[in-house]
Amino acid sequence: MNLDLALLLAQDGIANGAIYVLVALGIVLVFLVTRIIFVPFGDLVAYGALTLAAIQEGQRPGTIWLVPMLAVLAFAVEAASLLHKGAAHRLPRAALVWLVLPALPALAAWPLAGRELPDLLGIVLTVALILPIGPLLYRIAYRPIADAPVLVLLIVSVVLHFAISGVALVFFGPEGGRPRPLIRAMFEIGDMIVSAQTLLMLACSALAAFGLWLFFERSIAGKALRATAVNRVGARLVGIRPGVTGGTAFLLASALAALSGLLIGPVTTLSYDSGFVIGLKSFVGAIIGGLVSYPGAALGALFVGLLESFTAFYDSSFKEVAVFAILVPVLVLRSLVTAKPADDEEDEL
């Protein structure tokens, strides 16, 4: 392999890696704040891309049905828990928060979708449709067992992915979609040709990482989220409601997923179930980066992109094998480097 070829592979790898960086940031965000490994994050990304593609093609996106359905479920779960606690007087507010508010974007999108829309409006609609999904999933699946061991939360995550992608198949259909690129320009940097879309993705990743840092380091809301992650009991004792911070974290994750979907969609054709593998590869990147730091996750995700493109050069069919197989030696290395965990959780399940 000569240098030119290596450069070519590297630029391809960075373009792929840029996809994973955004997703990895979202996954680390949710994990740090809620201890939940949010496997369906990749699905949200795919739904974002598919929603935008459908809107651009003048069709009604699957999210128009998906989101109200989740809203009804979430309200049912909330109502049941309120009635169980004997707090029926809080039902109207719950209906507003869990039923009306999340369903609003879908109601707004209904008459609009199906016509020729300006690009910007399409993007706004897409984001508005994806935003409620994270908090709704949180309310339905995770909040009832917020105190459960990480392992149980992880199983719930994996199961949730399969359940939600079964629903997505009904609403989105099996065909893939690919929205138009946001910008089409190509740049030459030295010998490398880089698409503007790749640069945009890298820029957005950097911005998102910086924005997250700002939010968590500078704002009291961000600090409250971190505090919940560090010490749940401590957080409750200063009046922070873990349910609210959890919902906020998932809202942020949704926003990141929508952004990722907008950016990734034009680069690669996505279908209802392709978010899973993208999510898991980003996840491998996040774990390589240590799962606790945003820059680490970003670097790990870039590494995954590079690994993929270099493996693909030798035999493209083995790039997935390589990405997932690399995790085992990485984890072994980490377990050798870091000290032993203090004491494992008693009764994991």
Binding mask 242-261 for another protein (x = CB under 8 A): --------------------
Residue 337 binds another protein, judged by CB under 8 A: no
Task: Give me the DSSP letters along 67-112.
Answer: HHHHHHHHHHHHHHHHHHHT-GGGHHHHHIIIIIHHHHHHHHHHHH
The number of residues making up the chain comes to: 349
Of 240 and 259, CB closest to another protein: 240
* Closest to 264 (Cα-Cα) out of 70, 21, 84, 56: 21
- Binding residue for another protein (CB under 8 A) from 187, 210, 314, 318? 318
Residue 231 binds another protein, judged by CB under 8 A: yes
Residue 166 binds another protein, judged by CB under 8 A: yes
Of 191 and 345, CB closest to another protein: 345
Give the count of beta carbons closer than 10 Å to the beta carbon of residue 250: 30
Residue 321 binds another protein, judged by CB under 8 A: yes
| Residue 195, token pair as written in the block | 């698409």
Segment interacting with another protein (CB under 8 A) among 125-133, 158-166, 199-207, 258-266: 158-166
Residue 121 binds another protein, judged by CB under 8 A: no
d(CA 300, CA 33): 20
- Binding residue for another protein (CB under 8 A) from 141, 200, 267, 304? 141
Binding to another protein (CB under 8 A) within 5-64 occurs at 37
Residue 99 binds another protein, judged by CB under 8 A: no
- Binding residue for another protein (CB under 8 A) from 234, 269, 295, 314? 234
* Closest to 138 (Cα-Cα) out of 46, 228, 36: 36
Cα torsion 293, 294, 300, 304: sign: positive
Of 184 and 236, CB closest to another protein: 236
State the minimum distance, in angstroms, from the CB of residue 18 to another protein: 22
Residue 151 binds another protein, judged by CB under 8 A: yes
Q: Which residue has the tokens 């179930």?
A: 273
Binding to another protein (CB under 8 A) within 168-227 occurs at 169-170, 173-174, 220-221, 223-224, 226-227
Phi-psi region of 214 (alpha: psi -120 to 50; beta: other; left: phi over 0): alpha
d(CA 297, CA 300): 5
- Binding residue for another protein (CB under 8 A) from 203, 241, 269, 314? 241
Distances (CA, A) of 148 to 35, 151, 154: 10, 8, 10
Give the count of beta carbons closer than 10 Å to the beta carbon of residue 318: 12
* Closest to 68 (Cα-Cα) out of 138, 153, 129, 1: 129
State the DSSP code for 42: H
Of 204 and 284, CB closest to another protein: 284
- Binding residue for another protein (CB under 8 A) from 117, 163, 196, 251? 163
Of 189 and 233, CB closest to another protein: 233
What is the pairing mode between strands 186-189 and 192-195?
Answer: antiparallel
Binding to another protein (CB under 8 A) within 268-307 occurs at 277, 280, 283-284, 287
Residue 152 binds another protein, judged by CB under 8 A: yes
State the minimum distance, in angstroms, from the CB of residue 48 to another protein: 20
State the minimum distance, in angstroms, from the CB of residue 138 to another protein: 13
State the minimum distance, in angstroms, from the CB of residue 250 to another protein: 16
- Binding residue for another protein (CB under 8 A) from 59, 230, 269, 314? 230
Residue 150 binds another protein, judged by CB under 8 A: yes
The DSSP H or E segment spanning 194 is strand 192-195
d(CA 210, CA 88): 42
Binding to another protein (CB under 8 A) within 67-86 occurs at 85-86
Residue 340 binds another protein, judged by CB under 8 A: yes
